[in-house]
Structure 1
Amino acid sequence: TDQNFLDKANEKMTKYVQECAETTGATKDDMMELMEIKIPTRKEAKCLLACYHKKYGIQDKDGKLDKAASIEAMKDLKVADPELYDKAVKLFDTCIEQVPNQDCECETAAIFMYCFNIYGQMMGLKPGMVPM
């Protein structure tokens, strides 16, 4: 995967995490947890993740998982690394099918992250390998 693509993806990720931290009351620890692709434990951290997902379109404005928008958000990855893109699409497909939308969008986000990490490992993807 080319470095320019990764740099841009990381910049966007950092920007979104900071914007979401301001609106959710998340702490620096919560932000680090998200940047390290860890499953959030505190409510603020889960809501930080939901906000982040919404910015990428993984969750829609109502907090429901959105397969089409998730795949659209990865279109740059398709050009940068087609093989990784194919795995990422399969991973999103699997987790969006597996994870039921919760009443609380923050819980949906946390369960999705859990699925993403488990299935990602099974597919040979390390946490953070899907740059978004």
Structure 2
Amino acid sequence: MNGLTCFPKHEIMQGQIKDSQTTMNPSGTGELNRDIQIAKSEAEIRKWFIGLAIECNNENPITPEDMTLLHEHKIPDNENAKCLLACVYRKANWINDKGMFDIEAANAMVEKEHTDEPAKIDNSKKLFQLCKKVDDEPVTDGEKGCQRAALLTTCMTENAPKFGIPLIM
């Protein structure tokens, strides 16, 4: 993955999240394919992550202001926003049941998605290795993983450009 770092600028409208490319309902039906297939475009990966965020917003609702902050690559200072990130990472298998960054799962996902792009795979793995340090950071929410998800998001947001990786979310 090229770095789940922020949600696209969009509006929450009557139970839907709408951006300039896609409108999806919160149940994730219709346009959302729950499984990433190989060689997806950045737009398809973005759409997939938006679907995960929609599902997670049902469990961890955030405000439009929080969405705006996330779009600006800033982490809102509230538990729901951080837990929404953790939920997205869990659904993507990037945070495990112990609340830790699962670098092996992240590496496997990027290998599956970008089979014909070795440079993208290599750079993503370098980013993931750099951000693995978030597992060594002290957090107070343990297995919940919300604080670690915020740390992971910050690491990826700050470092993805150094590896030539566009910020998808």
Confirm or deny a common fold (TM above 0.5).
yes
Distance 2:47 2:135 in 1: 28
Equivalent position of 2:140 in the other structure: 103
Asked whether the 8 Å contact 1:58–1:69 carries over to 2, the reply is yes
Number of residue pairs the alignment of both structures matches: 126
Equivalent position of 2:115 in the other structure: 79
1:54-69 matched pairs, under 5 angstroms = 54-69=90-105
- CA deviations 1:44-88 (Å, max 9, x no partner) are 111110111111111012311111111122233332532112101
Equivalent position of 1:52 in the other structure: 88
Q: Normalising to structure 1: TM-score of the pair? A: 0.79
Q: Does 1:13 align with 2:53?
A: no
Asked whether the 8 Å contact 1:37–1:127 carries over to 2, the reply is no
Q: Does 1:39 align with 2:79?
A: no
Asked whether the 8 Å contact 1:21–1:27 carries over to 2, the reply is no
The farther-off stretch of 64-73 and 76-85 is 76-85
> Using a 3 Å threshold, how does the CA distance of structure 1 residues 107 and 93 change in structure 2: closer, same or farther?
same
Unaligned runs of 5+ in 2: 1-38
Higher relative strand content = 2
Equivalent position of 2:155 in the other structure: 115
Q: Which has the higher contact order (CA 8 A, sep 6+)?
A: 2
The farther-off stretch of 12-21 and 108-117 is 108-117
Q: Normalising to structure 2: TM-score of the pair? A: 0.64
- Paired AA for residue 127 in structure 1: L
Report how far residue 6 of structure 1 moved. Answer: 2.6
The farther-off stretch of 118-127 and 12-21 is 118-127
Report how far residue 99 of structure 1 moved. Answer: 4.4
Distance 1:98 1:65 in 2: 7
- Paired AA for residue 74 in structure 1: V
Report how far residue 109 of structure 1 moved. Answer: 0.8
Higher relative helix content = 1
Unaligned runs of 5+ in 1: none
- Paired AA for residue 75 in structure 1: E
> Using a 3 Å threshold, how does the CA distance of structure 1 residues 30 and 82 change in structure 2: closer, same or farther?
farther
